Amino acid sequence: MKSTLFSKKNRKLLSDPLGDQNPITIQVLGICSALAITVQLQQALVMAMSVVFVMVCANVIISALRNVIPSRIRIIVQLVVVSSLVVFVDQVLQAFLPDVQEKLSVFIGLIVSNCIIMGRLEAFALGNKLWPSFLDAIGNAIGYGWILLAVAFFRELLGSGKLFGYQVFPDGWYEASGGFYLNNNLMILPPMALIVVGIIIWVQRSRKSFPEELLEEN
Amino acid sequence: MSINKDSNIFTFSFAVVMVLIVAISLAVVSESLSSMKKANKEDKKKINILSAIKVSADRNEASQLYEEYIKESIVINSSGEIIENDNLDAFYIDVKKQYRNKNLSIEDKIFPIFIAEKDGSKYYITPLVGSGLWGPIWGFIAFEKDCNTIYGASFDHKTETPGLGAEIREAFFEDAFIGKKILDENSSFVSVDVVKGGSEEGNNHQVDGITGGTITSDGVTNMLKNDLKVYNNYFKTIR
C-alpha cells in the first residue's frame, strides 16, 4: 500500500489539474468566483486557501461516506457537507481574521456554489478511495487557486498599481503628480477578469494542444 | 448484515442523522467562537468611531484609545431631546437593528452621539446607517464644535462591490468630507451630497461620487440626509 501512495497514477491526480486538466482554463468551471474576487491579490489568496480547505475536507468526507450515501439524495448530501464546511470557514475567519472576512464578505458564502467543488465530489470522490480523493482535491483546488492568483496579479497591478496592497509603481509616474501613467480602471471591472482568463486559456492552448485532442490521445 | 441503501427508511434516517450532526457541530463552532466575534465587532466599532476623529487604531489598541478620546456619550430622540436613562449605554445601541426594523417609526428610534476630546477640542460623533446597493452601509461623522463643519468621516459597508461601491471606506472618499458643512448661509439644514460626475469647485455641500458606484454613492447621500437631519435637531439646541 505504501509504495503506491505516490504511484504515477496518483501523481497525475495531483499534477493534471494544475495544467492539462485545469478546472478553470480547460474545464472552464468556477469562473464566476474567478471573476468576482480577483481585484486584489490578498482576497484571491484567502479565497484560494478557503477553497483548498473546503475542497479537501469535502472530498475526503464524501469519499469516506461513498458506500453509505443513498444515491437518491447524494447531491443534497454533497451540498450539506460543502455548505457546513463553508459556514465553518466563515465563522473561523470572523473570529480570527475579521479584517479579511470583511473584505471577502459574501464571496466566502459563494464557495458553496463553486462548480469545481460539486463537480469533483460528484465525478471523483463518490467513486474513489480516500487517498486518491484527497490528492484530487488538492490538485484541483490548487489548480483553481493559481489561476485566481495569476488573474488577481494582473488586475491589481494594472488596475490599482499595487500588489498585495503595496504600491508598485512610483507616485511620480502618475498623471496626478505630473507623470505619464494612469491606472487602467477597466482592469477593476468584472469583464476584464474574463478577458484575462481568456488570455491565459489562449496561451495554454497555443502551447499545448486543445483539450479535445488530449481526450483523443487518451 | 446488509442494509438496503436505496430503501426509503435508510434514505430518511441518513438525512435525519446527517442534519443533526451538521446542526450540532455548527452550533458548537458558532457558540464557542461567539465571544471572539463579539469582541471583534466592538473593536471594529471603536476603530470606526475613532477614525471619524482621525485617530487611527488597530484592533489591539482600539479599546484603550477609545477610553482615551471618547469622554462622553449621550442618547437623543428624533426631535433632538436628550434621553436620560442610566441603563442606556450609547455604545451598545444598535442603530443598524433599528434601521432594519421597518415597524419602528422615527419617533421610536433613539440616536447615540459620542463626544470626543482631541487636542483640547470637542467633537461630536454621530453614527449613521443606510442602504447601499447590496446591503447595509453605515458610518460615523465627526463635527467640529460649531456642529456644522465636518471634521472627519468614516464609512463602512457589508456587501458593496469590491473596487466600486466598496470604495466608500477608502480614505480618498472619506477625506473628501472634511471641511464640508451641513448648513447653508441661512443656517438651514442642507446636508452633504455625493455627486455623480464630480462636485462643483468650492461647493461646501458636495463631494465627488465613485465611478461605477453610483447606487452606493446615492445610498451615502440619503443616509447623510436622513440621519443628519435628526442630529441637527439636537445640534440646534447647543449651537
CA atoms of B124 and B141, how far apart (whole Å):
8
Best of B8, B17, B25, B37 to substitute, by most chain A Cβ atoms within 10 angstroms, is B37
Grid cell locating B78: 428624533
Instruction: Report residue B171 CA to chain centroid gap.
Output: 16
- Laid out side by side, the sheet with B150-157 consists of B70-77, B110-118, B121-131, B136-143, B150-157
Give the whole-angstrom CA distance, residue A207 versus residue A184. 28
Closest CA to B65 of B50, B75, B53: B50
Q: Over the stretch B197-224, which tens digit does the pLDDT of each residue have? A: 888 888 889 999 888 889 999 999 999 9
Query: Which residues of chain B, if any, have pLDDT below 50?
Result: none
Chosen for mutation from B29, B38, B158 (greatest number of chain A CBs closer than 10 Å) is B29
pLDDT in tens, A135-193: 889 888 888 888 889 998 988 888 888 888 788 787 777 777 777 777 887 887 878 88
Q: For residue B58, what is the DSSP state? A: -
The ipTM is 0.71
**Which pLDDT value is given to residue B28?**
95
Mapping DSSP to helix (H, G, I), strand (E, B) and coil, where does residue B143 land? Answer: strand
- A71: pLDDT strictly greater than 90: no
Which pLDDT band, with edges at 50, 70 and 90, does A85 fall under? very high
Is A39 touching B (CB cutoff 8 A)?
yes
Which helix (H) or strand (E) segment is B71 a member of? strand B70-77
- From B6, B29, B44, residue closest to A91, measured CB to CB: B29
- Residue type at A206? S
pLDDT at A196 over 50: yes
Long-range contacts from B197-202, C-beta under 8 angstroms, 24+ separation: none
| Chain A residues inside the 8 Å CB shell of B13 | none
B10/A70 touch (CB, cutoff 8 Å), yes or no: yes
pLDDT beyond 60 at A214: no
Listing DSSP states for chain A in one string gives: -GGGTT-HHHHHHHHGGGTTT-TTTTS--SHHHHHHS-SSHHHHHHHHHHHHHHHHHHHHHHHHTTTTS-GGGHHHHHHHHHHHHHHHHHHHHHHH-HHHHHHHTHHHHGGGG-HHHHHHHHHTGGGS-HHHHHHHHHHHHHHHHHHHHHHHHHHHHHHHSEETTEE-S-GGGBGGGT-SB---GGGGSHHHHHHHHHHHHHHHHHHS--HHHHHHH-
* Coil/strand/helix, residue B189: strand
Task: Please say if the pLDDT value at position A209 is more than 80.
Answer: no
DSSP annotation of B83: P
| Average pLDDT of the residues in A16-44 | 78
